[in-house]
A and B are shown apart, each in its own frame.
Chain A
Amino acid sequence: MTITFLILAALTIAGMAAAMGLRNLIHCVLALTLGFVGLASLYLHLGAEFAGFVQILVYIGGVAILAVFAIMTTQSAEPVAHRRSAPFWLAGTLVAAGVFSVLAWAITRSGAHGRGLPPSPQIAAEQVGFALMRAYVLPLELMGLLLTVALIGAVVVATPGKKGEL
């Protein structure tokens, strides 16, 4: 566990926790962007350069912008006047804490604890391209089809219908 990992992990956790905890939704998305940057840096730190850049492109460039558009379109940036009820909030946090403790217990008891550090794999973008075009060409095409269908579906769902319809 290096100091780089600790800094990046702290950045990611702080960003994600702020994204889930702040009251103003625009602030939430800004904090979320910080968390995504931390996560992409962790991918880079692990040597997965391609996944790190995909994370930046898709999440920061796509999902975060989309969320900001949705917030501004629905005018829900201002926090609601009434506070959420305390037991509800407490129940969600308790369930999440329970899930985390079970996961942490499983991880510390598993064989992953004593694993040594293998040599860093050298993965060039060229190899990723070859893998995508050879071994993973069918999943790649299916992913393109899925994206097309999802984008058309999103447009159809969000388009206002005639009066009286959705």
Chain B
Amino acid sequence: MSPLSSYLLLSALLFSIGLAGALSRRSAILVLIGIELMLNAANLNFIAFWRYGPRPEALTGVMFAVFSITVAAAEAAVGLGLILAMYRHSKSTDLDKMTSMRG
């Protein structure tokens, strides 16, 4: 197996782990972490394609990964802020108990 396809397989596996967590966990915080894992798997793909691509000196993959990490950090901050607001509203982070959009 070539190095590139082993990295791609690892990235696919990480994406699936994140997807399984985001789909099946009840805690809103863990669902957010699962989404972060999926974003990380995409970043690994960017870096692997940059490393084994035709023009690595252009730095495109690294830049895209760095910007993607930044967007993921902003998303995590806003998401956890939303979870705090929901917790203040319903006194729980259990997704099964968040059944209404207004109190």
Contact = CB atoms under 8 A, between A and B. Distances in A.
A63 interface: yes
Interface in A67-84: 67, 69-71, 73-74, 76, 80, 84
Among A5, A51, A115, A136, max chain B CB count under 10 A is at A51
Contacts of B80: 66-67, 69-70, 154, 158
A67 B56 contact: no
Given A9-B10, A13-B13, A51-B47, A160 B52 contact: no
Q: How large is the interface on A (under 10, 10 to 19, 20 to 34, 35 or more residues)?
A: 35 or more
B77 A66 contact: yes
Interface of A: 1, 5, 9, 12-13, 16-17, 19-21, 25, 28-29, 32, 35-36, 39, 42-43, 46-48, 50-51, 54-55, 58-59, 62-63, 66-67, 69-71, 73-74, 76, 80, 84, 88-89, 91-93, 95-97, 99-100, 103-104, 107-108, 110, 112-118, 121, 123, 127-128, 131-132, 136, 139, 143, 146-147, 150-151, 153-155, 157-158, 160, 166
A108 B20 CA distance: 22
Interface string B49-82: 0111000110101110111011111111110111
Q: Is the interface of B mostly helix, strand, loop or mixed?
A: helix
Contacts of B52: 112, 115, 117-118
B37 A95 contact: no
B4 A115 contact: yes
Contacts of A91: 23-24
Contact of A150 (B37, B65, B74): B74
B27 A59 contact: no
A93 B71 contact: no
A89 B22 CA distance: 11
B12 A143 contact: no
B16 A154 contact: no
B15 to A, nearest CB: 7
Given A74-B84, A123-B62, A107 B8 contact: yes
B78 A154 contact: yes
A76 B5 CA distance: 39
Nearest to A47: B51
A19 to B, nearest CB: 6
B59 A123 contact: yes
A113 B5 contact: yes
Nearest to B36: A63
